[in-house]
Amino acid sequence: MKRLCQGVSRKKWTFVPVLLAIALSAAGACAQNGVWEKWSSESFTLGARESFQFHVGFDEIQVRSWKLMVDGGDMNCDLSVLRVKGEALLYYKTDQQRHEVIIPWGKGEEVMVVITARNEKGSFAVDLMGPPRDQVHAAYSYHVNRALEAYGSGQRLKAEAECEAAISEDDDDAVAKVLLAGFFRNRGYYSRAQSLVEAALKGDLPVDMRSLAEDLEAELAVLRAPLPEEVVQGEARVEKLLAAGKGESALKVCDDLLNGDHVLNAPSKSRLQMLRGQALDQLDRNFESVDAFTQALQFARNRDREATIYFHMGRLYLKMENFQQAQGAYTMALKYGLPSGLDVQARENLKKIEKRLAP
């Protein structure tokens, strides 16, 4: 802790299994299984209404998140914690005997801490708590660490936003580019993912992230391999037939493509099975449609595709008046992230279902 001055007046300041493993290791702030270890400790004696200010930088505790603890025993104090970058106030409470603050952290981070005694002289213990030193995971930039935490807790869109914020703040953040590429790959945006991976591999990457980037690059090469033109044209034709209400013709094209001699990758099989389910739905062959959607889910390789499949399943179950399964399907679709138009329909249908299920 860098001591700057005493007697300061108080102031209130206005994708991949490897990726999943990396993310989950960050999911619970910094302590593993709730176990914290003391990284450093100091104590200060302050007179009545006296303040003490110090800074903590990343070099002093190189983790993804840590906990600041201030204990005054029987004496109360005020505590404020300011993130220096952006002057974001992370914590401000007054007249407490004990303060505990989780500090989101990352390379280049620094916080300013101000402790102010209340109306009597007192001694205050300050502890910087981190994960056990033998369980420390690699720490990246502030926004990348937040992205890993968000991804580990299932908040995919927030994870993407944090990666984009990291790149906006530092265009040389190669780790953020690798993670964002992985998220784009999961959403089927292969060209954008490839561009990010190529840029990341030119940058400075830790060993684990370079390995992840190389694996992702190899996978994208396979995923971006062009499908036979007949398959591409066939999928487009099925969409037009479904839009025209010609389910029988659409079903025949799907079956011909699925049973033909073409080598189809998993995303294409998933798409064709989803289209096949829609065709069967139009023909009121409901149980066959459910089976097709189920197979589409088995071949799906990203959450966006799964969301769309669940949406169609929800609509089918609603038509069958199977309200509980319709509710479950629409809930999964919204959880995985639907395009705006389908999102609105799903929410409206969920409201109808809730009314039907209400006692």
Is-contact 186 17, C-beta < 8 A?
A: no
Q: Which residue has the higher pLDDT, 258 or 226?
A: 258
The whole-angstrom separation of Cα 250 and Cα 182 is 33
The Cβ of residue 221 has, within 10 Å, a number of other Cβ atoms equal to: 11
Q: For position 246, what pLDDT does the model report?
A: 96
Q: pLDDT-derived band of residue 21, with 50, 70 and 90 as boundaries?
A: low
Structure tokens at 21: 């493993």
Q: For position 359, what pLDDT does the model report?
A: 82
Q: For position 291, what pLDDT does the model report?
A: 97
Q: pLDDT-derived band of residue 257, with 50, 70 and 90 as boundaries?
A: very high
Q: pLDDT-derived band of residue 302, with 50, 70 and 90 as boundaries?
A: confident
Q: Which amino acid is at 340?
A: S
Q: Is the pLDDT of residue 89 over 90?
A: yes
Q: Which amino acid is at 282?
A: Q
The Cβ of residue 334 has, within 10 Å, a number of other Cβ atoms equal to: 18
Half-sphere exposure (Cβ direction) of 276: Cα atoms closer than 13 Å? 24
Is-contact 293 274, C-beta < 8 A?
A: yes
Q: For position 15, what pLDDT does the model report?
A: 52
**Lowest-pLDDT range, 16-20, 138-142, 199-203, 299-303?**
16-20
Q: pLDDT-derived band of residue 136, with 50, 70 and 90 as boundaries?
A: low
Q: Which domains does the chain have, with CATH numbers?
A: 2-135 (2.60.120.380), 154-223 (1.25.40), 229-357 (1.25.40.10)
pLDDT average, residue stretch 220-227: 78
Q: pLDDT-derived band of residue 9, with 50, 70 and 90 as boundaries?
A: very low
Is-contact 77 93, C-beta < 8 A?
A: no
- Residues constituting the chain: 359
Percent of the chain at pLDDT above 70?
A: 90
The whole-angstrom separation of Cα 141 and Cα 135 is 19
Q: pLDDT-derived band of residue 358, with 50, 70 and 90 as boundaries?
A: confident
Q: Is the pLDDT of residue 7 over 70?
A: no
Q: For position 13, what pLDDT does the model report?
A: 25
| Nearest CA-CA partner of 68 in 109, 107, 39 | 39
The whole-angstrom separation of Cα 121 and Cα 76 is 10
Q: For position 28, what pLDDT does the model report?
A: 40
Q: Is the pLDDT of residue 304 over 90?
A: no
Q: Is the pLDDT of residue 30 over 90?
A: no
Q: Which residue has the higher pLDDT, 101 or 135?
A: 101
- Please provide the DSSP assignment of 130-153 as one string: ES-GGGPPPP-BHHHHHHHHHHHT
Return the DSSP state at 87: G
Report in angstroms the alpha-carbon separations of 177 from 30, 97, 107: 23, 43, 16
